Amino acid sequence: MSESARERIFSKLRPAVAAGRFDIPSPEPPPRPEWTRSEKVEKLKALMEAVRSEVHVVKADAWTDALKALARRRGFKTLLYAPGTPVGDAVKQAWSEGSGGLPALRTYEGTIENYKDTLFHDTDVGITSTRGGIAESGALILWPDAAEPRLMSLIPPIHIAVLEADKIYGTFIEAMEAMAWPEQMPTNALLISGPSKTADIEMTLAFGVHGPKELIVFILEP
């Protein structure tokens, strides 16, 4: 059935596009703002905070100290991290230097099929890296992979993301070009701008409807 449906659809589409002309305009592409690194950091921070993300700009060599201080202050219980990634290894190293009052470290064991219960019911916080950020939109770019699975940034009620200031691009299109997206699209690419939200009840904005209730971003400056 499916095969013949395909044939039938294409036999209608081909003459249809040939009928009459299309009048396609050729506008100039949007301008690309020339922002310095600190301008991009400021822009991204302001936009993300406006949608209730928590953004900390810290020195790259001190970010795990800031993370530990935050985790202690907030009383996190469990932290899901990805060993084998620069962010995950830094977390592990920092915890090994003293983990009093810190959340217990967790790793994503096996596949979702057997890890679902723990992930859904017994994980406070997930920490992931990012591929970059987009200043103009106020969004993080995530390319989850085998080391850092997709659900780490979705199921735990708090998502912590680590972003290097040097990897903030002005616009989405610049990020695509710089990272050659067309040649290497991953399983799943994500833009994330804040915690999960909805305004489906009386246009009243509420956070944490399905995904994380909080998004905490550490921007690492060299």
Partner 1 sequence: MAEQSFDFQKNVDTALADTQLRANFAYAMSTLYQKRKAVFADKAETERLREIGNAVRQRALSKLPELLEKLEKKCTENGIQVHWAETTDEANRIILDIMNRHDAKRMAKGKSMVSEEMHLNKFLEEHGKEVMETDLGEYIIQLAGETPSHIIVPAVHKNKDQIARLFHEKIPGAPYTEKVEELNALARKTLREKFQHADIGLSGVNMAVAETGTLCLVENEGNGRMCTTVPPVHVAVMGLEKVVEKLSDVPPVLRLLTGSATGQIITTYFNMITTPRKPGEKDGPKEVHLVILDNGRSTILRDPELRQTLQCIRCGTCLNHCPVYTRIGGHAYGFVYPGPIGKILTPQMEGLEKTGGIVSASSLCNACEEVCPVKIPIPELIRRMRNESYDPKGTVSGHGYKWNLPEVLIWKAWALANRYPKLNELALKAGGLFGNRFPKIGPLRQWTRVRTAPRLSGKSLHEMVKAEGVDHE
State the nearest-atom distance from the C-beta of 186 to partner 1, in Å.
7
Toward partner 1, which CB reaches closer, 90 or 142? Answer: 142
CA distance between the termini of the chain: 59
State the nearest-atom distance from the C-beta of 112 to partner 1, in Å.
4
Dihedral class, residue 61 (left if φ above 0, else alpha if ψ from -120 to 50, else beta): alpha
Q: For residue 55, give the 3-state DSSP assignment.
A: strand
Q: For residue 63, give the 3-state DSSP assignment.
A: helix
Toward partner 1, which CB reaches closer, 64 or 193? Answer: 193
Quote the strand ranges of 117-186, DSSP E.
125-129, 132-134, 139-142, 158-164, 168-169
β-pair partners for 218: 56, 162
Toward partner 1, which CB reaches closer, 132 or 212? Answer: 212
Structure tokens at 39: 């301008």
